[in-house]
Structure 1
Amino acid sequence: MVDTDGWVPQSRQRHIVRLAVFACALLGLFYLVAVQRVVDIGVVQHVVAASGPAAPLIYVLASAVLGALFVPGPVLAASSGLLFGPALGLAVTLAATVGTAVTASVVGRRGGRAGARALLGAARADRVDTLIERLGLWAVVGQRVIPGISDALASYAFGALGVPVWQMAVGAFIGSAPHAFVYTALGASIAERSGPLAYAAVAVWTVTAIVGAFAARRAYRNRRGRAGGGGHTGVH
């Protein structure tokens, strides 16, 4: 028996091992880039600044790839503001953010989709697919709003779970817009020595953090409620 994703029950163990290797590779990359900071963003800024009129496009492409490699999004967004100012910098940041989300989700789907289905089991994986059809877009938006979660790691996970590319792109654009403005504006305020721009960025960051905290709390309570309700259901 083979399902629509080509998952063969007899190869379940092989797919799970492949998923584990893929996850370990991502975590190792995350440690090197996000924790040890092996990528020098200053060098990237210098190369982009010297590229002339094509600099915004070059930075979109470079930033999309670097984001998928776990260079922190705030660093990339601040660099965009520093290089291009608040208006063009925001457009560049959002384009790069969408590019990162799409890139990571496609890689996640290729590297982890079969393993994720094998780990979940066919019946549970089908239920997840049904849930994603209804709520996948808003799951991506919600993840972007809730603080403390790596966007790149989440995008790889969403891809492995089968979230469509269009939902990743639209969800990343909507959910990342507040943070994109905040960090791009902070970078631009440094370049332009603009106090009001920095104050606006801090205000938006504060509001976004509060909304994200409430969203995380509500999601946690809803999950606990469903788990508690499930424990009292009878057998029919």
Structure 2
Amino acid sequence: MTAIDGPPTSRRRHVLRLALCLAFLSTMFYLVAIARVIDVDGIRTLVAATGPAAPLAYAATAALLGATFVPGPILAAGSGILFGPLVGTFVTLGGTVGSATCCAFLGRRAGHASARELLGTHRAAALDAQLRRRGLWAVVGQRFIPGVSDAMAAYLFGGLGIPLWQMAVGALIGSTPRAFVYTALGASIGDLSAPLAYTAIAVWCVVAVLGAFTAHRGYRLWRRSRADSTVAATP
């Protein structure tokens, strides 16, 4: 008997817990990413006042802000404005990896146990096996797909139980092109006709094409695996 076949009261409790987590994250996303209740410009000014420690302070602050759904392009552009395209890119990556790891950790703590209970023993074991084999590249692929909230995806990956090292390494690999793009655009904000701005736009176009290809391929693989599962389950 799998965990999903347990008492209805237990299932309802886990469903309620996951629903509350999702409602909280959705509310945070609206308030921060859409309503913009956080003054990013003011925070950037405070960080710049820390002097030589500003790059580390900005990376740590960006990690926390990213975990609360402040859009990554805004944080990366701020890094480019403060530190230039080279140092700024590394600062952006530091904030991005920190944010991804933080989100995955919190998602794991908040929702992993309930997700496993609802999936059941066999499905949870199959998911764990999939994550061990493809979790790293799932994170990398997600980072290439445009229009997907990195923070929300990281919370979801954490809830599914992806190891934190896979989340960190995958975010580093998958976020590097976009980190350069948005940081370089921030550094070029005063002259968008500069070669650096054109280079950033060209990289962005390549990343967008790769992201669309990744999403399409991922969907096809998912449909194929569903079809194989259906055939295997047919008597």
Q: TM-score range by the shorter chain?
A: over 0.9
| Counterpart secondary structure, 2:103 | helix
Confirm or deny: 8 A CA contact 2:2 2:120 kept in the other structure. Answer: no
Counterpart mapping for 1:6-85 below 5 A: 9-10=6-7, 11-85=10-84
- Give the Cα–Cα distance (whole angstroms) in 2 for the partners of residues 191 and 98 of structure 1: 28
Would the alpha carbon gap of residues 134 and 220 (structure 1) be closer, same or farther in structure 2, given more than 3 Å must change? same
What is the match of residue 157 of structure 2?
A: 158
What is the match of residue 174 of structure 1?
A: 173
Would the alpha carbon gap of residues 234 and 130 (structure 1) be closer, same or farther in structure 2, given more than 3 Å must change? closer
Q: State whether structure 2 residue 194 is matched by structure 1 residue 195.
A: yes
Counterpart mapping for 1:98-137 below 5 A: 98-137=97-136
Displacement of 1:165 in angstroms is 0.6
Confirm or deny: 8 A CA contact 2:93 2:176 kept in the other structure. Answer: yes
- Which stretches in structure 2 are left out of the alignment for 5+ residues? none
Q: For residues 191-218 of structure 1, what are the alpha-carbon distances to aligned partners after superposition, in whole Å with 9 as ceiling and x for unaligned? A: 5767111000000000000011111111
- Give the Cα–Cα distance (whole angstroms) in 1 for the partners of residues 200 and 112 of structure 2: 38
Letter in 1 for 2:196: L
- Which stretches in structure 1 are left out of the alignment for 5+ residues? none
- Give the Cα–Cα distance (whole angstroms) in 2 for the partners of residues 152 and 234 of structure 1: 36
Confirm or deny: 8 A CA contact 2:93 2:179 kept in the other structure. Answer: yes
| Counterpart secondary structure, 2:66 | helix
What is the match of residue 207 of structure 2?
A: 208
| Counterpart secondary structure, 1:39 | coil
Letter in 1 for 2:102: T
Would the alpha carbon gap of residues 195 and 145 (structure 1) be closer, same or farther in structure 2, given more than 3 Å must change? same
Displacement of 1:231 in angstroms is 4.1
Letter in 2 for 1:207: V
What is the match of residue 227 of structure 1?
A: 226
Confirm or deny: 8 A CA contact 1:82 1:191 kept in the other structure. Answer: no
Displacement of 1:21 in angstroms is 0.7
Q: State whether structure 2 residue 122 is matched by structure 1 residue 93.
A: no
Displacement of 1:8 in angstroms is 11
What is the match of residue 146 of structure 2?
A: 147
Displacement of 1:228 in angstroms is 3.6
| Counterpart secondary structure, 2:147 | coil
Displacement of 1:23 in angstroms is 1.1
Confirm or deny: 8 A CA contact 1:60 1:92 kept in the other structure. Answer: yes
Cα RMSD of the aligned pairs, angstroms, is: 2.1
Deviates more, 1:68-77 or 1:51-60: 51-60
How many percent of aligned residue pairs carry the same amino acid? 56
| Counterpart secondary structure, 1:149 | coil
- Give the Cα–Cα distance (whole angstroms) in 2 for the partners of residues 137 and 71 of structure 1: 24
Using the size of structure 2 for normalisation, the TM-score is: 0.93
Displacement of 1:14 in angstroms is 1.7
Letter in 2 for 1:144: R
Q: For residues 40-60 of structure 1, what are the alpha-carbon distances to aligned partners after superposition, in whole Å with 9 as ceiling and x for unaligned? A: 111011101111111111101
- Give the Cα–Cα distance (whole angstroms) in 2 for the partners of residues 155 and 105 of structure 1: 5
Q: Report how many residues are paired.
A: 233
- Give the Cα–Cα distance (whole angstroms) in 2 for the partners of residues 196 and 150 of structure 1: 29
- Give the Cα–Cα distance (whole angstroms) in 2 for the partners of residues 160 and 208 of structure 1: 27
- Give the Cα–Cα distance (whole angstroms) in 2 for the partners of residues 234 and 15 of structure 1: 27
| Counterpart secondary structure, 1:190 | coil
